[in-house]
């Protein structure tokens, strides 16, 4: 390889340090590095590619074209036809005789590439993300210093990509943990923590838009007997079946959740003021009660369930807090439970 030493541009190290420290995206890092790479190597085009080996294509992500050569940013080429694939396969990362070494490449002929150099952008585990490249239409030597800078820049881009990937993984993990913290493990419904947060949101929205909030507290009468008769596995299956019925049967916009044990809740907004509290609670009960009543064919048991107790409120958000509404709905549920027992005993 011929050597043609080019002095590092004044302030290059300071500029490179600034780029590395301040770049928030791969593009913000890469574009200044492509400019610096062009200054060091003197090549007409410098560019970063992404390789999709499974898809058999290579895409030009970012390109700097400072002279007559035009590497098309966003261009997609068959991977097997590219100079990058040949360079990786043969471990030949520089040549100023592309027409001699790889004259069969249609992409090289199309772009008029005579001088080419590249460095793989390698991620952890040996994964090839893509390549950092330089090219010219003329025969042009590149110094050892130029190749070192190319390798350094490819490494910096790889590190940034790894950092982005790590941040994405952490964000996904945080989202998963947050989802777990708001979800009842047995039924998959929102848990008490989520319901309280949702009630706060509904109360705030109701105050802004003049809407009332519906809170339906549900207790599964006879759940202990189901556990004692059929076993805890059947009890868990029953709770899961209840959750599925509520999930599928509530109004659009309502949220069904499990507070714990055999206690469930449904919350939502009520539009308009023309309906009375009694009409709304009666309609809500008529809608929810049939979801719970009925025959259950579980893996560990089969039985008819007569239904649960309900405490249903429709409240003005300005009159009480979300916590108070839940307490009031709980109290209404116990009154309903006592009334049902009196009927059964009569």
Residue 313 host element (H or E): strand 309-315
Closest CA to 263 of 301, 295, 292: 292
Return the structure tokens found at 310.
């309900």
Instruction: Render the burial of 289-317: b for 16+ CB within 10 Å, e for the rest.
Output: eebbeeebebeebebebebbbbbbbbbbb
* Nearest one of 139, 65, 334, 64 to 217, comparing CA atoms: 334
d(CA 326, CA 176): 28
Within 10 Å of residue 24's Cβ, how many Cβ atoms? Answer: 9
Instruction: Tell me which residue of 255, 261, 247, 246 sits closest to 200, measured CA to CA.
Output: 255
Would you call 213 exposed, middle or buried from its count of C-beta atoms within 10 A (0-12, 13-18, 19+)? Answer: buried
Secondary structure (3-state) at 35: helix
Rounded CA separation 187/322 (Å)? 24
Q: State the number of CA atoms in the 13 A half-sphere of 198 facing the CB.
A: 25
Q: Which residues contact 286 (CB under 8 A, 6 or more apart)?
A: none
**Per-residue burial over 142-181, b = 16 or more CB atoms within 10 Å of its CB, e = otherwise:** bbebbbebbeebbebbbebbeeeeeeeeeeeeeeeeeeee
Residues known to be catalytic: 262
């Amino acid at each position: 390889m011929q050597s043609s030493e080019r002095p590092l541009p004044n302030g290059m190290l300071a500029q490179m340090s600034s780029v590395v420290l301040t770049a928030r995206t791969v593009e913000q890092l890469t574009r200044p590095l492509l400019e610096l790479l062009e200054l060091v190597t003197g090549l007409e085009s410098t560019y970063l590619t992404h390789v999709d080996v499974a898809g058999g294509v290579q895409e030009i992500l970012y390109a700097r074209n400072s002279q007559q050569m035009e590497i098309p940013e966003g261009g997609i080429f068959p991977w097997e036809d590219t100079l990058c694939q040949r360079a990786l396969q043969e471990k030949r990362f520089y040549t100023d005789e592309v027409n001699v070494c790889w004259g069969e490449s249609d992409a090289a002929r199309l772009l008029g590439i005579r001088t080419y150099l590249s460095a793989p952008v390698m991620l952890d585990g040996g994964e090839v993300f893509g390549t950092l490249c330089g090219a010219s239409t003329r025969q042009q030597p590149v110094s050892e210093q130029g190749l070192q800078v190319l390798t350094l820049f490819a490494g910096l881009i790889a590190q940034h990509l790894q950092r982005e990937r790590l941040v994405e993984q952490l964000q996904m993990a945080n989202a998963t943990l947050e989802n777990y913290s708001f979800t009842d493990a047995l039924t998959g419904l929102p848990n008490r923590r989520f319901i309280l947060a949702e009630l706060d949101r509904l109360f705030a929205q109701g105050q802004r838009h003049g809407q009332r909030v519906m809170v339906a507290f549900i207790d599964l009468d006879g759940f202990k007997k189901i556990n004692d008769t059929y076993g805890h596995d059947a009890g868990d299956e029953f709770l899961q079946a209840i959750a599925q019925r509520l999930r599928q049967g509530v109004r659009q916009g309502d949220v069904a959740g499990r507070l714990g044990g055999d206690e469930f809740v449904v919350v939502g907004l009520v539009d308009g003021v023309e309906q009375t509290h009694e009409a709304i609670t009666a309609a809500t009960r008529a809608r929810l009660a049939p979801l719970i009543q009925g025959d259950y064919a579980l893996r560990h048991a089969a039985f008819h369930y007569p239904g649960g107790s309900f405490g249903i409120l429709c409240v003005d958000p300005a009159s009480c807090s979300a916590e108070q509404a839940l307490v009031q709905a709980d109290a209404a549920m116990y009154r309903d439970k006592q009334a049902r027992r009196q009927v059964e005993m009569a």
